[in-house]
Chains A and B, each alone.
Chain A
């Protein structure tokens, strides 16, 4: 959704304008950083939803926290490739 907002602002940039380099610098910057925020907070928010279950399961000694964490990260790396 916010990609449409960025598009609306930056759709006019081109090499023909006087401030081309500055425009494009800002454009590339927004392009690179804005989406990273969504990734950070997607994980951040979700972790607190999982946390109560995690506390219960590890408290019951069903599995250790390190096993949970490692499996999570390994699966994450595999499926993001």
Chain B
């Protein structure tokens, strides 16, 4: 029985080391090819932050599978759910404007954690044109985005993401059980 479960878990499990491996590869390719990507410590902390959100993202994938009965409906409608999560992540809107809804979005956690990882290492930004709005250092930039300005905020996000992952898995299981019962057994 255990063997069977393992057997059918296999195709899904093969995807798992991807989170770690792919994140590190992907971040390395993008980060080190830019002029700002010179610090190996920042690379590691960014990769870890994305990996934490990646685990949460996989839970969200399960959740979507539970939410929609078929692949066809799922691909049509999941874009809407994605859009909501992306909109409250602080991409197109300052996160101060969405006080509560942002905590359900793993995009928000990833976005803020990576921003903190990067901007806290920047001690000085040169001002090219005094007429423009100038930020003296990375902390000022973070404040202008409405993000937290210390490492503690990032660790809190890791914790919140863990809770969110558990909640999503719980909801996903309920949804999948409903789907299996609704479609019926063979």
Question: Do A and B interact?
Answer: yes
A residues with CB within 8 A of B: 3-4, 6-7, 10-18, 20-21, 24-25, 27-29, 31-33, 35-60, 62-63, 65-69, 71-73, 75-77, 79-80
**Other contacts beyond A3-B29, A7-B34, A72-B12: 19, CB < 8 A:** A3-B26, A7-B33, A14-B34, A16-B128, A27-B34, A29-B91, A32-B111, A33-B110, A35-B26, A36-B54, A40-B64, A44-B74, A47-B61, A50-B12, A56-B186, A65-B180, A66-B173, A72-B13, A76-B16
Say yes or no: A56 contacts B17, CB within 8 Å.
Answer: no
B13 & A76 in contact (Cβ 8 Å cutoff):
yes
- A54 x B180 contact (CB < 8 A): yes
Determine the chain A residues whose CB is within 8 A of the CB of B30 once the complex forms. Answer: 3, 6-7, 10, 31
Query: Which B positions have Cβ atoms within 8 angstroms of A?
Result: 1-2, 4-6, 8-9, 11-13, 15-20, 22-23, 25-27, 29-31, 33-36, 46, 49-51, 53-55, 57-58, 60-62, 64-65, 70-71, 74, 78, 82, 86, 89, 91, 106-107, 110-111, 113-115, 118, 125-126, 128-129, 132, 135, 141, 145, 169, 173, 176-177, 179-180, 183-186
From known contacts A46-B12, A48-B71, A68-B5, infer whether A13 and B62 are also in contact, taking CB-CB under 8 Å: no
